[in-house]
Amino acid sequence: MDWIQQLQFANWHRVTGCVLEAYLLGCFATGYYLVRARAGLDLRKIESGSIGARNAGRVLGKTGFAMTLLGDFGKGALAVWIAWKWTGDNHLALLSLLAVVVGHLWPVQLRFHGGKGVATSLGALLVFDYRIALVFPVLFLAGFVPMRRSLLPAMFAFACLPMAAWFFNWDNFTVALLALLVAMILFAHRRNLAEEFTALAARRATTPKPEQPKL
């Protein structure tokens, strides 16, 4: 039975329950509520406007960064774990993975102004298939060491995750939904990527060319 046939015979009450539970869990914006509680500030109005760990760290320091990172990572892992415990179905766990990231990116109670989704995605992937999750740090470090920049290696590592799922013999449905996850993460980072490419282009333009030896 392929995945299309499985969808036809799916228990849609369970599908709806898993997706809704994961989305609401994703809406719990760790950094936003932490900064609200400790500093009385709206994290969406500070620096990048993201509710993620890096922006929370700008206000609360290393402790705020670590707590936000763990909270976002943990809610991704918890969403997939609940779906598996409740249904034992890989595809429903994967739909929960997507839903918790959607909740983090576009939380309804914050008028759909959320974070970037990296930590939440990795937490969910670690529970879904730790092998796919471990591909990310390997590829990230391979790009970070020579470049000494984090954004482009991180996005490249994310873009490779669907291929990693294919390599580990996951079905086409899983590969397709992971490709959708990658698209969402890249979309959330679109401004950062534009700034990064602009900075690299400017840096390249101002780098002096080596003089040719005179004959």
Output the pLDDT for position 1.
46
pLDDT at 2: 53
Residue-averaged pLDDT of the chain: 88
Output 4-10 pairs: Cβ under 8 A, ≥24 positions apart: 6/91
135-149: pLDDT as tens digits: 999 999 999 998 888
DSSP character string of 159-207: HTHHHHHHHTT--HHHHHHHHHHHHHHHHHTHHHHHHHHHHHHHHHHHS
Tens-digit pLDDT profile for residues 105-157: 999 999 999 999 999 999 999 999 999 999 999 999 999 998 888 899 999 99
Name residue, tokens 């849609």: 12
The CA distance from 82 to 149, in Å, is 35
Whole-prediction pTM? 0.87
Cβ neighbours for 47, distance < 8 A, ≥ 6 positions apart: 55, 58
Q: In the prediction, which pLDDT does 14 show? A: 77
Q: Which residues of 69-82 are buried (b: 16+ CB within 10 A; e: fewer)?
A: bebbbbbbbbbbbb
